[in-house]
Chains A and B, each alone.
Chain A
Amino acid sequence: AQKVTQAQTEISVVEKEDVTLDCVYETRDTTYYLFWYKQPPSGELVFLIRRNSFDEQNEISGRYSWNFQKSTSSFNFTITASQVVDSAVYFCALSEGGTSYGKLTFGQGTILTVHP
């Protein structure tokens, strides 16, 4: 069975601080996909990134960066120079590959609050 754990339930930072959201996953599949989503108060999920199990390259997109380490089954997300607009719930999620692709197991979510 797949499992995703986001150890931090809530994080509170002051604007311009860097913040890292942790994600640890469990799966027996060799092909899988990892995702991060942002959920603002409206509820709509905003896709941030997808990574497949064969690509361990770290990625940077503006102020966002992701660190994927298969050796520790982790897929952590860092926001550099946080802004108030980054305040939201962030979910890490895992999907099998193949015909089950898209069937997501979500972590518990991390509530990020960025104070001005």
Chain B
Amino acid sequence: GAVVSQHPSRVICKSGTSVKIECRSLDFQATTMFWYRQFPKQSLMLMATSNEGSKATYEQGVEKDKFLINHASLTLSTLTVTSAHPEDSSFYICSARGRFYEQYFGPGTRLTVT
């Protein structure tokens, strides 16, 4: 079965609202989680890296105030898209890395901002 889950799998929101996406490791402790974004017909781009209990490290060009990442426990990381706009519509995928460097991707969350 899946070892990393994401919730929700799909979300539609109105422009200006905030959306929270959860990434959970189901049967291992994820010391590090990575968040990726994939625009239609494009590749995956790393947005940020989060370590449990620490502030996330954002890739160049990713606005940390817009994409809030919290990794408060060893099984949960959240990505909040604040004041979402249509250009934030994308497929967001997390991956979780465990203590023994096992690594799994979540199934992704498709965000549509209208």
Contacts and interface: CB of A to CB of B under 8 A. Distances in A.
A116 to B, nearest CB: 24
Interface stretch (A11-19, A57-65, A100-108): A100-108
Interface residues of A, number: 16
A45 B49 CA distance: 19
A109 B46 contact: no
Contacts of B108: 43-45
A102 B4 CA distance: 14
Q: What does DSSP make chain A's interface, helix, strand, loop or mixed?
A: loop
Classify chain B: how many residues form its interface, as a range.
20 to 34
Interface in A61-116: 91, 101-109
A45 B105 contact: yes
Interface stretch (B21-29, B78-86, B91-99): B91-99
Q: What does DSSP make chain B's interface, helix, strand, loop or mixed?
A: strand
A88 to B, nearest CB: 13
Contacts of B97: 101-102
A106 B39 CA distance: 13
Nearest to B95: A102
Contact of A44 (B43, B103, B107): B107
Contact of B49 (A103, A105, A106): A103
Given A103-B46, A106-B45, 12 more contacts: A43-B38, A43-B107, A43-B108, A44-B105, A45-B108, A47-B104, A91-B44, A102-B95, A102-B103, A104-B36, A104-B44, A107-B43
